[in-house]
């Protein structure tokens, strides 16, 4: 392993953000989602992220649970779904998102090699605790770091500062992993070595920095040099 500290974004990187809508769509009480869930899930995620950026620029911070609800409300209205029960079910499932299948073994491999591992996320502490415990990852992580400690969303430098403060390490000691191209770019600009998990095969964002590695999934993280 190249680095001593491996830091992961949570939503979309370790946890499948589409799993909430996908699971709800298979339940009889939420049949209205059956044909619409992919669109709803995509809009939910898009608005969730847009709201973090706009709030950061406007200096109008709120916690990630609020923007998660706001993003869902926009997505449901766009899909013309008005069921309060469906909204509640989607939000409940978001607190127990499924981890991607390679996550557990990948973290075990890092820990066996002596690395320290952490999450660094926009998520609020209670959201992250719920997701980590639901996925059975609590013993595989040395820290779960939330932007709530600094009151601004990624990609602000104050967020990435949390890693050095927690592990007493320099940026060059860190491999930062995200499924968000803009997050990987922000972390690269900060000074971390970065890996972008590009599951969708998207183009590289035209930003001020680019990721050092581009991967299809998390399987080869322990092999990066």
Q: Which residues are catalytic?
A: 9
Element (H, E) at 117: strand 116-121
What would the DSSP string read from start to end of 180-196? -HHHHHHHHHHT-EEEE
Mode of pairing for the β-strands spanning 193-197 and 213-215: parallel
Report DSSP state, residue 15. B
d(CA 150, CA 75): 28
Alpha-helical runs (H) found in 1-124: 19-25, 37-58, 64-78, 84-94, 103-112
């Amino acid at each position: 392993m190249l680095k001593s500290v491996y830091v992961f974004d949570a939503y979309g990187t370790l946890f499948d953000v589409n799993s909430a809508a996908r699971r709800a769509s298979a339940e009889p009480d939420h049949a209205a989602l059956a044909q619409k869930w992919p669109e709803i899930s995509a809009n939910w995620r898009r608005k969730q992220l847009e709201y973090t950026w706009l709030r950061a620029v406007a200096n109008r911070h709120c916690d990630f649970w609020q923007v998660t609800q706001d993003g869902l409300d926009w997505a449901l209205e766009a899909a013309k779904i008005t069921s309060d029960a469906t909204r509640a079910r989607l939000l409940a499932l978001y607190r127990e998102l499924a981890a991607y299948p390679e996550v557990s073994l990948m973290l075990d491999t890092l820990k066996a090699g002596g690395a320290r591992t952490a999450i660094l996320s926009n998520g609020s502490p209670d959201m992250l605790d719920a997701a980590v415990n639901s996925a059975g990852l609590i013993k595989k992580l040395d820290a779960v770091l939330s932007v709530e400690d600094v009151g601004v969303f990624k990609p602000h430098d104050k967020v990435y500062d949390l890693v050095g403060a927690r592990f007493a390490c320099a940026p060059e000691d860190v491999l930062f992993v995200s499924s968000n191209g803009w997050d990987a770019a922000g972390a690269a600009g900060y000074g971390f070595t970065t890996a972008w998990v590009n599951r969708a095969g998207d183009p590289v964002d035209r930003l001020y920095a680019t990721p050092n590695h581009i991967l299809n999934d998390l399987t080869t993280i322990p092999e990066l040099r």
